[in-house]
Structures are given as C-alpha cells and as structure tokens.
Amino acid sequence: MICIVDYGMGNLKSVQKALDYIGADNKITSDECEIKNSSGIILPGVGAFPEAMKNLRKRNLDKILKEESERGKPLIGICLGMQLLFDAGEEIEECEGLGLIWGKIVKLHGDIKIPHMGWNNLIIDRQCEILKGIPENSYVYFVHSYYGKLKFGGDLSAHSVYGEVDIPAVVNRGSVYGTQFHPEKSGSVGMRILKNFIDMTV
C-alpha cells in the first residue's frame, strides 16, 4: 500500500484520485505505523515551506520520513513536498528541511511572471526510475514561486527553463524522488511518472 502523507497541507485528494485511476492501493494517513508498513510514500504539498515543516515536526513525521528513506523505501515529494526534501528553504524565513536532497529552496527571480504557473517542457539530464518511458520535452504542469538550488548536480534528473532560470523539475537521490511539477495534473505523462513510482514499490 502507498501512503499519501497527511500533514494538514496539500493536494491530497487529487493525488489519491490519480493513484485510484492507475489502480494503486493507497491511503491518506499521518499514522506512524501505517507509514512504516507501507510499500512507498508520497509527500504532497501546497503552501509555505516553514508552516509545512512545522506541521511535519508536530506529528513526528519528519523523523519517520527520514527513517523510512534511510531504509531504502521509495519516497516521492510533489511540488512543496519536493521542496521539503531539501536541506533548507528561504520562504518567509530561513527554515531547515528534511535534508534528503542537498540544496536550498530559493525564490524565483528575473523578468518573469511569478508564480511559474502552467505547462512547461522537461529536459532530461539523467535517467531515473520515474522517468522510464517519458520522452524528452514532455510537458508537465507547474505552480510554484520557489525552486531548488542543488548542491550536487548528480541529484538532477530533469529540469525546465523559465525565463533565465533552470528549474530542477525531477530530483533523485537513492530511493528518494521529487517532482517540482504536479504529476497528478500533468495528463498521461504525469500518470506514467506515478505508475513508474508505484512499480518500484511492488
């Protein structure tokens, strides 16, 4: 069973609907035992980085996510959920993240409309499991005002270009994955990415 982590923020129902569509057994939960007994973890998220981390810590979910990822359990963060995987974020205030992906979340800059909202293409930098069968320049759906600055380029699997900013769109370190875009809103490409993730958990 896939656990969709409920920490009081996020597009839980839309992610669940996408998993139901591809036939993946899933549950929205914040229960420690259920997360530990799951075959894979999805960390969704919409909102501000500091509030999200506060909510995770309040429920002891930050420790559980770190422990499960260290055990090699597949974990994917979506949008804000991906950003929380990083070492830190600067939204509103400097805030420590989960530290599963090396780098920092910073505000989009330049002569561009913020937030970055709508469809953009994926430029694949390094193949990883969740990108299996995804063609170069596939379009996916973004909604965000902050992006990840990676310390280690080897964690980058795909990026998108917005103005003069290269946005890490897919990151991966070991069994930890993240998508800055919303796969559950990205049509058949997004469904394939979610299916690839599910296939890793069986």
pLDDT digits (tens, 9 = 90+) for 34-53: 999 999 999 999 999 999 99
Within 13 Å and on the Cβ side, how many CA atoms surround 188? 4
As a residue count, the chain comes to 202
Give Rg (Cα) of the chain.
15
Please, what are the domains in the chain? 2-200 (3.40.50.880)
Task: Report the pLDDT value the prediction gives residue 11, as an integer from 0 to 100.
Answer: 80
Tokens representing 93 are 């205030």
| Residue of 3, 79, 95, 128 with catalytic role | 79
From the number of C-beta atoms within 10 Å of its C-beta (0-12, 13-18, 19+), residue 94 rates as exposed
- The single residue of 116, 144, 159, 182 carrying the catalytic annotation is 182
Q: What is the pLDDT of residue 95?
A: 97
Q: What is the mean pLDDT of residues 14-41?
A: 98
55: helix, strand or coil? helix
3-state secondary structure of 134: coil
85-93 mean pLDDT: 95
Report the distance separating Cα 135 and Cα 117, nearest Å.
22
How many percent of the chain have pLDDT more than 90? 96
Does the annotation count 79 as an active-site position?
yes
Does the active-site annotation cover 3?
A: no
DSSP-assigned beta bridge partners for residue 119: 141
Tokens of 5: 């982590």
72 dihedral zone (left: phi>0; alpha: psi -120 to 50; beta)? left
Q: Does 182 participate in catalysis according to the annotation?
A: yes
pLDDT on residue 202: 85
pLDDT digits 0-9 by tens, 122-177 = 999 999 999 999 999 999 999 999 999 999 999 999 999 999 999 999 999 999 99
